[in-house]
Structure 1
Amino acid sequence: MGTNVETRLLGRDVSFTVAEPWLAYWLVILRVTVGWWMLHAGLDKFLAWPFDASWFVGGAAAGTTLGPVVTLFSEGAALSFVNIMVPLGQTLIGLGLVLGALTRLASFFGAMLMTFFYFINGETGGWAHGLVTGELLGLLLFAMFATLGAGRVLGVDAYLAEMDLFKDNARLQWLIG
């Protein structure tokens, strides 16, 4: 069983067949794996509490492309906010992906985190490991999950999509994958 995909890419007609069962299994495997990656990162920070992001938002970010935004969070209440939100965000993103719940929302915030990590770690390290890093691959995976609606495959989003609350509200439909 497959679906024929026909589209235009870079000015050329492209067509191919996607084996639906394999795509579904692969989406679930990737979604749960990346979800565990984020969940583990967040829980590790909670277990080693107190988490301190000052080295990242203060020192590492200074002088980078995103530095002017990130360094605003390097002191006081803003730093306390980041110290709570990074582990909490990673934990919630991970749970969202593992459960397939609010997958697009989780993927959006995952991609946002990976964007900050990618540019700040890359620029401060002089791209020592090249331009293609784990952060970039994570960013691409989050974008894929949001695009393909990965939460509707063996995830809570499949049940949410059937609820009247989501059926009747286009904005809420965006949150589920």
Structure 2
Amino acid sequence: MATTETTDSVQTRLLGREFTFPVEGTWLAYWLVMFRLVGGWWLLHAGLDKLVNWPFDAGWFVGGAAQGTSLGPFVTLFSDGAALTFVNIAIPIGQTMIGLGLILGALTRTAAFFGAFLMVFFYFINGETGGWAHGVVTGELLGLLVFGMIATLGAGRVLGVDGYLIRTEFVDKHPRLRYLIG
């Protein structure tokens, strides 16, 4: 079953189970737009800052900071050579594209998923290397939760490009695309 909506509820399937939850009032819509815009600006700004101050070098993060962390064995695979070059390009461009997607409300679920994906790495590596000096609730964890909320509630349908895309004949013929937009 694809995600469907009425004016007061959203019906969706998660992990094989059907869920319906109420979405009441215009304030929720404005709240979602605000979260989408703030989260989008956060990553757009981070990505553009790295592009403007090029060259960007993630070696300190994937090579140094990640060592000895739970994600270190995976992340340190990208610490030199072509893999580091890929990361040095992918991070600023990815942050910029995620930010633009969220601000425009275009491919919102996809953008929010990748925003949350980045936050997982930032959260665990920064937290573990700093000994959770600021506690376990950090900006990265809050970012992870915000991006998860944006993806789950389909915030792109409210004042976003996804609101238009979801009504197109193309998406109607390919309902699985609803998982990427919204």
Task: Give the TM-score taking structure 1 as reference length.
Answer: 0.90
The answer to whether the Cα contact below 8 Å between 2:9 and 2:24 also exists between their aligned partners in 1 is no
CA RMSD of aligned residues (A): 1.7
Q: Match of 2:51?
A: 46
1:82 aligns with 2:87: yes
1:127 aligned counterpart, secondary structure: coil
In structure 2, relative to structure 1, the CA distance for the partners of 1:132 and 1:51 (3 Å cut) is same
Alignment of 1:96-111 (within 5 A): 96-111=101-116
Deviation at 1:18, TM superposition (A): 5.4
> Which residue of the other structure, out of 162, 169, 174, is the alignment partner of 1:169?
174
Regions of 4+ moved over 2 Å: 2-5, 16-19
Which whole-Å deviations, capped at 9, do the CAs of 1:83-124 have from their partners, x for residues lacking one? 000000000000000000000000110000000000000000
Deviation at 1:165, TM superposition (A): 1.4
> Which residue of the other structure, out of 130, 135, 142, is the alignment partner of 1:125?
130
In structure 2, relative to structure 1, the CA distance for the partners of 1:162 and 1:136 (3 Å cut) is same
Identity of aligned residues (%): 71
- In the alignment, structure 1 segments of 5+ residues that lack a partner are 6-15
Letter in 2 for 1:69: F
- In the alignment, structure 2 segments of 5+ residues that lack a partner are 1-6, 11-20
Q: Match of 2:14?
A: none
In structure 2, relative to structure 1, the CA distance for the partners of 1:163 and 1:126 (3 Å cut) is same
Q: Match of 1:24?
A: 29
Letter in 2 for 1:90: Q
The answer to whether the Cα contact below 8 Å between 2:171 and 2:178 also exists between their aligned partners in 1 is yes
1:65 aligns with 2:65: no
Distance in 2, Cα, partners of 1:39 & 1:53: 17
